[in-house]
Structure 1
Amino acid sequence: MNGHVKSMHFGQFMGPATTLLSLLLLMAVDSTRTVAASRNQQCGNSLQQTLKLTRLIQKESVDLIKTYKASQGEMSELLCKVSVTSVPDPNISGLEPSEKIVSIYTHIQAFLPHFKRVYEQQTDLQLPTSPLLTGLTRVSARSRDLATLVNLFYQKLFPNVPIQESAVDPTALPPPQNVFQQKVYGCVVLKTYKELLANVSKELRTLKNTVCRRRI
């Protein structure tokens, strides 16, 4: 009889305890999902902001190329068709998401000194009020902002493995050029950078559909 009573008491105790344990487990799972969903949203928002700026610069680069050609005088349509070796590669490399993001960052950084060189060359060829100089300054500044956003996004995903600045492999700037070579170089830099932005936009869309969702 005593054993039966003890069994009843144990059952009565375990009933509420099991229920409480189940509730705690459900709360823990729900909390984990909430945190994961929040991180996923932050990831998506950060990437969307980066993608938005990329598209803006991409649009401005198209207009800048038109402005560039209009300011170069005769044979301007042929300038971008001449082959130039001293311009960074517009193609994104890497297999893993971390490698692709680093590649995006380093490619953008690699173009910045070339923008500076083009601006310096065009300063000697254009009036100070030229819209080309204004456009070059704007795209260069926005590109620095874009590199910063890419770096911040990378740090959110991989906080323990920062991007090494030594990973940037800048393409050597061209030696002294005559006026025609300068015009060709500037046009090819802008055209190639527009191609890079198109590739960056494509890669960011892919990352948004894979990396951020994977974090849930």
Structure 2
Amino acid sequence: MTRLCNLPAGWRMNGHVKSMHFQQFMEAAATFLFLLLLMAVDSSRPAPVRENLQCGNFLQQMLRQTRVINKESADLIKLYKASQGEMPEFFCKVAINDIPDPKISGLQPAEKIASISTHLQAFFPHLKWVYEQQTDLQLPTSPLLKALTTVRVRSQWLVPIINNFYQSLFPNLSLPEPAGGATTLPPPQNVFQQKIYGCVVLKTYKEFLSNVSRELRNLKNVCKGTTAISMHFF
């Protein structure tokens, strides 16, 4: 005991450090082995089972993301109206040309998913234009600008999820590109027109998201073998 206590401090710590390094190595090795085991289990499944699980996962992700954006869009509309001063409700229901149709078209799953994708991307330029208009009307610290950015970014995240879902269902097909060329934005507007345009865009987009959620619930059985998994989230 005396000899051990008389050892230099650095020497006494070396054993402790080595022990910590060995423990960290063992933990890393255990994690690595666990990942290998998961990969082995997944690879042992038949290809159709793996594909069905992927399909179900992408469908769940789409629904979760759409629900979040749908709720945030409802809050965004309230914030937008409060930020514009006096604005009667009927102003937000005015018919404006070139705003995307909120309805989902198509009869077959492939057509419906393609419609969701193309309509979603058609809204992006309008959401961006509403944001740019409001930067001239609001203070830089306005909660409205932050809320508009959040909805736009989350909506853009939804695109690759839709693409993955489509490819999991139809691996030999490519998702159609948005048709119609460049999106037509409104001509120069005065402040009053900008306020109406922004409200109509946000209300229409909210309606589109509600339609997407309904269509996704109708597609819950499209991934064969994943009904039980999907039902937990629907």
- Post-superposition offset of 1:164: 3.3
Match of 1:212 in 2: 223
Say whether residues 1:66 and 2:112 are aligned partners.
no
List alignment gaps of at least 5 residues for structure 1.
1-31
Pick closer, same or farther for the CA change 1:167–1:146 going to 2, 3 Å.
Answer: same
Match of 1:160 in 2: 172
TM-score, normalization by structure 2:
0.73
Say whether residues 1:55 and 2:61 are aligned partners.
no
Aligned length: 185
Q: Is the Cα–Cα contact under 8 Å of residues 110 and 170 in structure 1 kept in the other structure? A: no
Alpha-carbon distance in 1 for matches of 2:226, 2:139: 52
Which structure is higher in helix share?
A: 1
- Post-superposition offset of 1:63: 0.1
- Percent of aligned positions with the same letter in both sequences? 65
Q: Is the Cα–Cα contact under 8 Å of residues 52 and 224 in structure 2 kept in the other structure? A: yes
Alpha-carbon distance in 2 for matches of 1:165, 1:43: 21
List alignment gaps of at least 5 residues for structure 2.
1-43, 228-234
Once the two structures are overlaid, the 10-residue window that deviates more, 69-78 or 132-141, is 69-78
Say whether residues 1:143 and 2:155 are aligned partners.
yes
Match of 2:205 in 1: 193
Pick closer, same or farther for the CA change 1:74–1:198 going to 2, 3 Å.
Answer: same
After superposition, the CA RMSD in angstroms is 2.3
Alpha-carbon distance in 2 for matches of 1:157, 1:37: 13
Once the two structures are overlaid, the 10-residue window that deviates more, 149-158 or 109-118, is 149-158
- Post-superposition offset of 1:160: 2.0
- Post-superposition offset of 1:85: 1.9
Once the two structures are overlaid, the 10-residue window that deviates more, 182-191 or 83-92, is 83-92
Bigger Rg over Cα: 1
Once the two structures are overlaid, the 10-residue window that deviates more, 102-111 or 69-78, is 69-78
Pick closer, same or farther for the CA change 1:164–1:39 going to 2, 3 Å.
Answer: closer
Say whether residues 1:125 and 2:137 are aligned partners.
yes
Q: Is the Cα–Cα contact under 8 Å of residues 39 and 215 in structure 1 kept in the other structure? A: no
Alpha-carbon distance in 2 for matches of 1:104, 1:168: 15
Match of 1:24 in 2: none
1:188-212 deviation digits (Å, cap 9, x = unpaired): 1000000100111111111122x10
1:10-67 deviation digits (Å, cap 9, x = unpaired): xxxxxxxxxxxxxxxxxxxxxx995434332221111001100000000000000000
TM-score, normalization by structure 1:
0.79
Say whether residues 1:84 and 2:100 are aligned partners.
no
Residue type matched to 1:97 in 2? P
